[in-house]
A and B are shown apart, each in its own frame.
Chain A
Amino acid sequence: MAQSKTNDRSVDFSAALQGYPRDPKYLLPVLYKLQENYGFLSTEMLQEAARHLGVPVGKVYSLATFGEEFRLEPLGRCVIEVCSGACCRIKGSGGILSVLEAELGIKAGQTTQNGAFTLLEASCIDACALAPAMRVNGHLYGNLQGGDVLRIIKEYELLQKSSAK
């Protein structure tokens, strides 16, 4: 997920949209493409998509806010996805999530003030045999307990600090 430059208004989103015909039918694929490229959908991107496909911005917005597929805010540098699928939940992912929420001081779906962590509830991360599981920046951690989570978060905090230097 490329998250750099996301707040830069001068980025030309139209490049990502080349190849999609001016047809409202392509709205969903276009939104996925933009999110894939930039990690989230900004107001500018939604406007650009509307212009490109010739549909009202309101229509783009109404589709982008449906369901949980699209994010309208940028992600943090470290994305934590806690699985909340049925399998993980009955094996204790609720506890894992509450520990993370307390540790990071945010609720699921939010990003910390400094932009370091985003905490997400994922519907299923394909690791049912390792429940409860979570994914941090694409790395999978399974058979979790509260203490493991704290250790993992510490590691990523240190990693971010060292890379900042």
Chain B
Amino acid sequence: MVWKESLQEAACTHSQSDPCPVVLDCLRSAEPLCELRHNGKTPWQAAEENQVVVRIGLGSCGIAAGAKKTYNYFKSQLAKSGELKDRVVLKKTGCLGLCSHEVVVSVEKSDRVVFFKNVNIERASEILELYIQGDSLPEDGVLGIVRKDQEDGQKIGSLQAYLNSRVLLQNAGLIDPSSFDEYLASGGMAAFAGALKMQRRGEEGRMLSAILAAMSKSGDFCIEKERLVEFKERSGEKTVVLRALEQDTSSFTVRTILESDPYSAVEGLMVICVLLGASRGLVFLDPKFKNARVLLEDAVCQLQEAGLLGEEVLGSGFSLRIEVFPGLESAVCAEDGAVFAAVLGDRPKPGSSGKAQGGSLTCHLEDAVYAVRLGALWPGWSEHPFKGEIPETQVVSLLGRVENAGCIEVPLGTSLREIVYDYGGGVENRKVLKALQIGGASGGFLPARLIDTPLDQGLLQTLGIKRFGSILVLDQDCCIVDQTYYSLKEMSGHSCGLCIPCREGLFRLVEMLGSIKRAGQGPENLKRFQILSQLEKLAETIRDTSRCSHGSSAVTPLLTGLTYFKDEFRAHIFEERCPANQCKGLLKFKIDAELCTGCSICRERCPEDAIIGQSKFSHFIIEDRCTSCGICHEVCPFGAVSFS
């Protein structure tokens, strides 16, 4: 083959001391095999002397917090002033992952980069006047400072240390997600170059180890080696489906990666396709991710223009197509069978286990991005790869009653205490932690006393879950029964209905939990007392007999809830009492005559006509009619409706 001959002829002139600045130029040249390049981890080199670069995070979360307003403000201010216009460059970035601090603006000036948090227009003008035009930092609103001249790993500010520790999210919030050039400058496409090189040299064994190293990262859900080999050796058209779906129902990890660093996701898929000899890659995208879809489609277009996708990639005789496919968000799509069915235009059916099915194979987004990060190490690697060289991390969506909610990346083995208190800043309003729900609606509860448990495979086994994306923080005001009820309701709603344990069983569990969330009447009470034993029995049956992981994982919150918080279930069932005052059906509502102004807002909205009273005189709730829906409490502008 031609390219094999050229391999011997034209060697790349780059060396360790004179690394290749942008891998693309080398890729395009006759012998596109240069891997010796600077490990451009940070984009800071972009700024020239005396230049100021302002970067504004425009991820979904940022936009929700008003990032577009802030961006437009900077834009208009820069347009007004000629002096600023020449000196200041305005850039968009993805999401840093720190949702509670949005809008995040970073200003790169001289030797350092300052990150500002919660930048509204007022703060923006302060930053512009005090810091950009002057040289003094505003008193508050500084999230952290990163010094450019410090080497990686040196701990100056906690933000710098954190940014340096990220692997999968290494570009998130730092580069412009829509710019191919910035991606290249930050070290992008090195893994693809490495994979192409192995493919051209025909290094089959090395390719297999590389793919195994990348895809076995996600522990239990890893692909079996035999299957992988079988898929690799299969002839004919092969498709790799990148599952760009959240790992669990409350996570936003995948969305953050896609919106901040879509090129890494696409490159990951390209790398896996090359290593496995597949000519078609499909991004099976959650249809909710509208912003991410635009970015991904744009990324694929740019890669096509650059000649890295399409027929004859860089003249290698290897053709590669990538398509962005809006899939289904339903949780049943955690099953491969369901994904393949949807891709073929069938109603998803779970059950057909195994990753390789016919000419198709699925991989997780995290694995694909991990392959890209590993790829940067390929040059010096011989037989047993590098797993120790890149720290294994877990990207976690931290949410709920926590001070700093967001999408963070932590090394595996970090204790949950560190995650909640160091990364998350502790429980909101300094309340007492009650439990963590790890893994969304299909995840288990962990009581506060076990918070020193490290985050690793052992923990997941204890909880009975396989993988997760989110940690939900619950404080003492949250009710475990209520949380279990909503988790099961969500999973029940997503059941595909093919097998009875999941379809009927979950429905009954929801019904039972619903009934203990409200006060019983007459004969209902007798039934109520049986529920405690029935719950556990039914949950175990569902876990053991469901056809796919959807049903068996759906009961995890209930089973862990019963293990660690049985008292709370007892209180609901036997005492008709909700210890956290969350289950409205068990509460009694009362209007405080002193606070009530007689505005009648509650009276007009009571669905049971249980509130009486004249306008401008204090109102009263008739207890017998009240169904404890709580609407009066919600709508009262004076806080006069209390419950006990």
Contact = CB atoms under 8 A, between A and B. Distances in A.
A150 B326 contact: no
A16 interface: no
Given A90-B474, A102-B605, A66 B61 contact: no
Contacts of A99: 605, 631, 634-635
B639 to A, nearest CB: 10
Contact of A129 (B325, B405, B494): B405
Interface in A124-165: 124-130, 133, 140, 142, 145-147, 150
Contacts of B141: none
Nearest to B333: A67
Contacts of B636: 146-147
Interface stretch (B20-28, B128-136, B341-349): B341-349
Interface residues of A, number: 43
A150 B635 contact: yes
Contact of B348 (A27, A32, A66, A127): A66
B330 interface: yes
A67 to B, nearest CB: 4
Interface string B282-301: 00000110000000000000
Contacts of B494: 67
Interface in A110-127: 123-127
B64 A142 contact: yes
A127 B287 contact: no
A126 B252 contact: yes
B484 interface: no
A24 interface: yes
B118 to A, nearest CB: 10
Interface string A55-74: 10001001100111100000
Interface in B592-644: 601, 605, 607, 629-631, 633-637
A27 B326 CA distance: 11
A140 B61 CA distance: 11
Interface string B245-267: 00001101001000000000000
Contacts of B520: none
B347 A63 contact: yes
13 contacts: A63-B346, A63-B347, A66-B328, A86-B399, A87-B400, A98-B630, A99-B631, A123-B329, A124-B288, A128-B61, A147-B601, A147-B635, A147-B636
Interface of A: 24-29, 32, 53, 55, 59, 62-63, 66-69, 85-87, 89-91, 95-96, 98-99, 102-103, 123-130, 133, 140, 142, 145-147, 150
